[in-house]
Homo-oligomer: A and B are copies of this chain.
Amino acid sequence: MPTSPFPDTTPLPGKRPLRIGVAGVGVVGQGVIKYLSEHPDFAPAIGEVVVTAVSARDRYRKRDVDLTSYQWFDDPVALATSDAIDLFVELIGGSEGPAKAAVEAALALGRPVVTANKALLAIHGHALAKTAERTGAALLFEAAVMGGTPAVKMLREGLTGDQVDRVAGILNGTCNYILSEMEASGRSFAEVLSEAQAKGFAEADPTTDIGGFDAGHKITLLGALAFGAAPDFAAADVQGIEAVDLIDIRLAHDLGYRIKLIAEATRDGDFASVRVHPALTPLGHPLAQAGGSLNALFIEGRRIGRLFLQGTGAGQGPTAAAVAADIADYLAGGRRPVFQRPAVELQPLKPADHAKRTTAAYFRLRVHDHPGVIAAISDALARCELSIDSFLQRSVQPGGLVPIVLTTRPALETQIDAAVAAIAALDVVAEPPRMIRIAMI
């Protein structure tokens, strides 16, 4: 029989507080340092913590926290491997460079790592998990996905008793904010993006967010956890929101939909489809109702059915709370594989065949104002065996062009692609149709 669990499971010699080193002291790093120094005993009976050392690019940048009482390291690798710390918190970001070097160095020593770095894990997670499990180091990353909403723990631990076949939702708060603002204010993508950058809601270089890559990293991680597979960002099919026009947002709304950037990972036997793309969601759907910078996630398990989770996706407070929860997890002493199965057994799932995916779609096109136009379009769709679900023709515009939007019934992606090509080839069509998928969640 085990003996009393408190506080003997603390994996530390004696009872001294766990010494934390934080690399990366931006908004989230400052939040973590502030929280841990104000709440050293935030995990009662599990253990105490103390921040002892920090590293950042610029030592003298103005910050909300005073760093002078912590040991300073110019080099995050030196911090990660220093004897001054017991646990390394990596908040530098980026899949390569110092973040990767520092996490690798800590794990190689058997030192536990807590990170918010989704890019690093989505790309190098399998290799890092192998190192971590070889040396016995914990590698925890609750803060990498959905901020303070414990989606990682839910998939890694809470649903161990089920087989999850699908995770799908809204994982990038910046894109969700931009799309929500475009709809609410009737402003263009470029205008709303500029404003978001000015307010600090979007990065100066927004590519990672608006290109769908951040959501792609996150869904890669959630898929790996859900399916017990190696994360493989290279296999993800990623499309961003740069091409979402205000007119599509408005027309989608007229048809009863809202455009969202949807990230989804679906497993089918040894195959997985991991993708990110803008999609129409019905206005009454929980994903359509998750506005602003919220994140939302559906998890579909064979036994639990459908589970829905929604919360703040990022920000100083929520992300720092997730880092703290991971530190408590380390202190509690339990250990599991990084991605559900031992890293040495872990395989990436094979990418599902694009041709076999099913989706419904929204088409927007502009046609010349000629008799027989509708017949020509519906004939083109019929030749691709696509059924029309709804059809909306607007009045003729100056220049003699007529805007048409339609939605299709679910069909194979190849049929949808063929229909786009068939419609584009029609003489009556003024420009290639804009196609946006309709979410099947």
A149-B307, A333-B333 provided; 10 other pairs, C-beta below 8 A?
A1-B109, A5-B335, A5-B336, A6-B337, A42-B160, A46-B336, A150-B159, A160-B324, A304-B318, A304-B321
A 139-192 contacts with B by CB, 8 A: 142, 147-150, 153-154, 157-162
Of the candidates B44, B136, B328, which one forms a contact with A5 in the assembled complex, judged by CB atoms under 8 Å apart? B136
Contacts of A307 in B (CB 8 A): 148-149, 309-312
A4 B134 Cβ-Cβ under 8 A: yes
A110 at the binding interface (Cβ < 8 Å): yes
Shortest A397–chain B CB gap in Å is 35
B44 A341 Cβ-Cβ under 8 A: yes
A69 at the binding interface (Cβ < 8 Å): no
A133 at the binding interface (Cβ < 8 Å): yes
Contacts of A228 in B (CB 8 A): 44
A 269-315 contacts with B by CB, 8 A: 284, 286, 289, 301-312
Of the listed residues A135, A158, A305, A345, the one surrounded by the most CB atoms of chain B closer than 10 A to its CB is A158
- Report how far A309 CA is from B303 CA in the complex, Å: 17
Shortest A165–chain B CB gap in Å is 14
Shortest A91–chain B CB gap in Å is 14
Contacts of A154 in B (CB 8 A): 150, 153-154, 158
A325 B136 Cβ-Cβ under 8 A: no
- Report how far A6 CA is from B129 CA in the complex, Å: 12
- Report how far A3 CA is from B35 CA in the complex, Å: 30
B303 A317 Cβ-Cβ under 8 A: yes
Contacts of A157 in B (CB 8 A): 150, 153, 157, 325, 328-329, 332
A200 at the binding interface (Cβ < 8 Å): no
Closest to A329 in B: B157
Contacts of A158 in B (CB 8 A): 142, 150, 153-154, 325
Contacts of A35 in B (CB 8 A): 161, 303
Q: Given that A44-B340, A154-B153 are known contacts, is A304 also in contact with B161, CB under 8 Å in the complex?
A: no
A2 at the binding interface (Cβ < 8 Å): yes
Closest to A306 in B: B311
Q: Can you list 22 A-B contacts (CB < 8 A)?
A: A1-B111, A3-B136, A4-B134, A6-B337, A35-B303, A43-B160, A45-B337, A46-B160, A46-B336, A148-B301, A149-B307, A150-B158, A160-B324, A161-B325, A303-B321, A306-B311, A308-B310, A309-B309, A309-B310, A329-B334, A333-B334, A334-B335
Q: Given that A304-B321, A321-B301 are known contacts, is A336 also in contact with B45, CB under 8 Å in the complex?
A: yes
Shortest A174–chain B CB gap in Å is 17
Contacts of A320 in B (CB 8 A): 161, 303
- Report how far A157 CA is from B286 CA in the complex, Å: 26
A11 at the binding interface (Cβ < 8 Å): yes
Shortest A328–chain B CB gap in Å is 4
- Report how far A308 CA is from B311 CA in the complex, Å: 6
Shortest A387–chain B CB gap in Å is 29
Closest to A32 in B: B161
Shortest A7–chain B CB gap in Å is 9
Closest to A341 in B: B44
A324 B161 Cβ-Cβ under 8 A: yes
Contacts of A329 in B (CB 8 A): 157, 160, 334
Shortest A280–chain B CB gap in Å is 19
- Report how far A3 CA is from B134 CA in the complex, Å: 9
A322 B6 Cβ-Cβ under 8 A: no
A323 at the binding interface (Cβ < 8 Å): yes
A9 at the binding interface (Cβ < 8 Å): yes
Shortest A341–chain B CB gap in Å is 5
A342 at the binding interface (Cβ < 8 Å): yes
- Report how far A302 CA is from B324 CA in the complex, Å: 14
Of the listed residues A44, A134, A312, A342, the one surrounded by the most CB atoms of chain B closer than 10 A to its CB is A44
- Report how far A133 CA is from B327 CA in the complex, Å: 22
Contacts of A324 in B (CB 8 A): 160-162
B308 A136 Cβ-Cβ under 8 A: no
Contacts of A45 in B (CB 8 A): 336-337, 341-342
